[in-house]
Each structure stands twice: as C-alpha cells, then as structure tokens.
C-alpha cells in the first residue's frame, strides 16, 4: 500500500473510503468492501483518506488516550482490506477550520467517495452525507450502519469493551483478535528469576489502555500468557506489557512482537511474595493454555 502524507490535493481516479478508521472494525470493513466493489466496477484505484492525529486529540484532549491502533497497525489493517493508496491528512487547528465545500473541492472531486452513515466533516462538522449527496451525486455512496444486538458497531464500543476487560467482545466487534505490536525491551529479569521469562513492551502514550490484568495471548512465536499493568508485587509504578511465551527461550530483544489478546483471565493484584506470585502465574498459564 502506498502512503501519502498531508497531500496538497488528491488526483481523480480513486474510489475513496473516508474516515478515521480507528480499530478497522466490522463496521469499517463494510465501508472498505464497498470501496473495493466500486473500484472494481468503475476501474478506479481503491483508496482511503484518514486523519492524523485522531481529531479527539484536538477537540477532547482530556479523554486521551483513545487510539485502538497506532498508525503502523492501522496502515497494516487497511492494507489487508484492499486499500492500495492511503492519504493521511494532518489534523490540526488550521485544517479543522476548512469549510466543508472547500474540503470537497480540494480533496474529493473527480473521485467516488464512500463514507459511513454518520461521517461529519468541515468547520464545526457542517458537512455530512446530505452535502456529499448534493455535491457529488452519483459519485457518492453512503453505507448504512452495521449493528450488533441493536447497537451500531463503533470504535467507542470497542474501546469500552477493551477498557472493561471484555476482550472476546472487542474481538467480535473488530473481526480479528485485538493486537499490539511493539519493540521488545529489557526488563528487570525478575520473571526469569522465578521461571517465567517475559518479553516486555512499553505502550505508546497515545494508545488506548486495555484493563490492567492477566490475558491469554498469541504471538508470532506461539501462545502465551501476559500481564498488562504496573506489576504491584515487583514494581507498582512502571506500566508494562509482559508476555511469557510458552516453550520459547530465544533472545528476541529489540525485535518487533505482535501480541494478540485472546481473553481476560483476571485482574492485576498484589502478592505477599515472589513465591506466591509464581504459584499464581502457574495457574494463569494453565488457564491460558485451555482458552481457545
């Protein structure tokens, strides 16, 4: 997938899915499927216009962090859904003051545009599907909402599920196992000292925090059990994702580790000693191995 940052304008000849696409969940995938179908039918190039940073960072910084995926993972997911070109527009105060019609003239004309039912754009969110229908006519497609149990699929639903430890629900909404990709760093070595060596990852500040606790996980090196939190028994201050990979002893410091969250096992808690913690990890690992 070709990535173009902060384009001055966008040439014609694309079927463009327009949105933030945080999480690239099942609702987003319906929009992306429409993009692919229209691109094939009209001999257009399948593309996406998205925004960085997330608009919430400008308008509601008090609720950060909210990102389900970092930019690298989002690009990875968009590419896997058939996007050939991704245009990333820098979302800042100046861009937020662009009028809706100016946005259409600068970025959308000459292309077929696809959005969700509630997409809003332009200064004070003055533009939406009605304006796109009016201006673009047959070169605009509005995708109806996708629902689960009467609730519309949304990034907010995924965020709530992850923050409450409902990983299986989050994965169902996403259509894939939620994952974090990060560089393995050196820890204090206390895990290895009790027989459970871990690969450690620090989360990016902008990334949403799932509920602190123990999870059954999968990595490119095999299944495992992970603790995400501040490790109150051994530290209590430093936030870390610690992953113990079953039957694995290779040195992977400095490598990129993809950690897929399969299920929530228990909340993080404090133990009286490392021996007590070790006994609990044995139980956690056994439970993680049972989870499908």
Please write the tens of the pLDDT for every residue from 3-25. 999 999 999 999 999 999 999 99
pLDDT attached to residue 146 = 81
pLDDT attached to residue 39 = 98
Q: What pLDDT, in 10s, does the model give residues 20-79?
A: 999 999 999 999 999 999 999 999 999 999 999 988 888 898 888 999 999 999 999 999
Alpha helices in 43-166 (DSSP H): 56-59, 71-80, 93-96, 100-103, 129-136, 155-163
C-alpha torsion sign, points 211, 278, 288, 265: negative
Q: How far apart are CA 94 and CA 102, in angstroms?
A: 13
DSSP symbols for 3-54: EEES-S---SSEEEEES--SS--HHHHHHHHHHHHHHHHHT-EEEEEEEES-
pLDDT attached to residue 191 = 57
At 215, the pLDDT band (50, 70, 90 cuts) reads very high
Place of tokens 């993972």: 73
Q: What pLDDT, in 10s, does the model give residues 167-197?
A: 999 999 999 999 999 999 987 655 555 668 8
CA dihedral 91, 93, 99, 104 (to 10 degrees): -20
Q: How far apart are CA 31 and CA 116, in angstroms?
A: 7
Residue range 2-152 in CATH 1.10.150.120: no
Q: Token pair of 283, please?
A: 């139980």
Top-level class of domain 178-290? mainly beta
Q: How far apart are CA 2 and CA 86, in angstroms?
A: 6
pLDDT attached to residue 190 = 58
pLDDT attached to residue 151 = 75
Q: Could you tell me how far CA 188 lies from the centroid of its own chain?
A: 29
Q: What pLDDT, in 10s, does the model give residues 72-129?
A: 999 999 999 999 999 999 999 999 999 999 999 999 999 999 999 989 999 999 999 9
pLDDT attached to residue 193 = 55
Q: What pLDDT, in 10s, does the model give residues 228-276?
A: 998 766 666 789 999 999 999 898 999 999 999 999 999 998 877 777 8
pLDDT attached to residue 195 = 65
Q: Please, are residues 182 and 257 in contact by the beta-carbon 8 Å criterion?
A: yes
pLDDT attached to residue 292 = 81
Q: How far apart are CA 37 and CA 48, in angstroms?
A: 14
Contacts for 189-197: CB closer than 8 Å, 24+ residues apart: 190/234, 190/274, 191/242, 191/244, 193/274, 194/274, 194/275, 194/277, 194/278, 194/281, 195/278, 196/244, 196/278, 196/281, 196/285, 197/244, 197/249
Q: How far apart are CA 135 and CA 156, in angstroms?
A: 30
pLDDT attached to residue 277 = 81
* Exposed / middle / buried, residue 14 (Cβ in 10 Å: 0-12, 13-18, 19+): buried
Domain ranges of the chain: 2-152, 178-290
């Amino acid at each position: 997938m070709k990535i173009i940052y902060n384009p001055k304008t966008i040439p014609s000849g694309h079927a463009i899915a327009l949105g933030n696409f945080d999480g690239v969940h099942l609702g987003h995938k319906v929009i992306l499927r429409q993009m692919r179908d229209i691109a094939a039918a009209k001999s257009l190039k399948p593309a996406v216009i998205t925004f960085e940073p997330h608009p919430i960072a400008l308008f509601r910084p008090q609720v950060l962090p909210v990102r389900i995926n970092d930019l690298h993972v989002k690009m990875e997911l968009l590419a896997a859904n058939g996007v050939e070109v991704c245009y990333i527009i820098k979302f800042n105060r100046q861009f937020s003051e662009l009028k809706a019609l100016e946005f259409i003239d600068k970025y959308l004309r000459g292309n077929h545009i696809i959005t969700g039912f509630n997409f809003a754009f332009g200064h004070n969110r003055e533009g939406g599907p009605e304006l796109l229908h009016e201006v673009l006519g047959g070169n605009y497609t509005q995708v109806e909402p996708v629902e689960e149990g009467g609730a519309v699929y949304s990034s907010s639903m995924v965020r709530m599920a992850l923050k409450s430890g409902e990983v299986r629900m989050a994965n169902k909404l996403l259509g894939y196992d939620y994952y974090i990709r990060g560089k393995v760093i050196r820890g204090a070595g206390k895990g290895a000292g009790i027989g459970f060596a871990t690969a450690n990852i620090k989360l990016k500040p902008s990334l949403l925090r799932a509920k602190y606790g123990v999870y059954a996980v999968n990595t490119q090196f095999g299944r495992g059990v992970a603790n995400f939190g501040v490790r109150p028994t051994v530290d209590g201050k430093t936030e870390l994702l610690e992953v113990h990979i079953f039957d694995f002893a290779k040195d992977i410091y400095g490598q990129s580790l993809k950690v897929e969250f399969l299920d929530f096992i228990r909340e993080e808690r404090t133990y009286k000693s490392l021996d007590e913690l070790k006994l609990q990890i044995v139980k956690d690992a056994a439970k993680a191995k049972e989870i499908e």
